[in-house]
Amino acid sequence: MIGERIRSLRESKGYSMTELAKHSGVSKSYISNIERNLQQNPSLQILAKIAQPLDTSVEFLLGIESEELAELDEEWIDLLKTAIDSGVTKRDFAEFQKFVKYRKWIENRP
């Protein structure tokens, strides 16, 4: 599971194992062992080093974070980037979510 996630993220970033090793400071052979599930229990420190250049979190690599985030299509990613670039904060987004919930509640009232 961890190895599959690392391989998938590495390939989506266009990194070879050698490049990921260089960017993370973790040896290529160790990364290979993780990806092939020969090393099934890497330390949190190693996972943190690998997660950083892959622009992800240790939680995601461990399967703790919602997998739905990994399935965002390009349109969602572009919308979120545009919102962030225009100054929308996490708090603003949370307020927007509350507004949408409220609007749906109003629409579905008997």
Mean pLDDT along residues 28-54: 94
Q: How many domains does the chain have?
A: 2
Report the CATH number at residue 56: 1.10.260.40
pLDDT in tens, 76-85: 778 888 888 8
pLDDT surpassing 60 at residue 70: no
Q: Which domain holds residue 46?
A: 2-70
Under the banding of pLDDT at 50, 70 and 90, the label for residue 22 is: very high
The torsion angle over the Cα atoms of residues 55, 61, 65 and 70, rounded to 10 degrees, is: 60
Do 97 and 79 lie in a common domain?
yes
pLDDT in tens, 85-94: 898 887 888 8
